[in-house]
Structure 1
């Protein structure tokens, strides 16, 4: 059970990292587009 929980946490963390990175990338794109 503990092993399954850590495996699930790793997957959740990976998913969160990907989502967070794409979110930051979208913000950076918006910041670059505003002055143009």
Structure 2
């Protein structure tokens, strides 16, 4: 059980980083397709 907790603790930052990158990529794509200026 402790090993699983360590695995989750190690994997979570990677999942968060991937989620952030996908969000940034999506927002950049939206800004490119729909210019706000």
Which 4+ runs in 1 deviate beyond 6 A? none
- Using the size of structure 1 for normalisation, the TM-score is 0.77
Task: Return the TM-score normalized by structure 2.
Answer: 0.75
Give the number of equivalent residue pairs: 35
The unaligned stretches of length 5 or more in structure 2 are: none
5+ residue gaps, structure 1, are: none
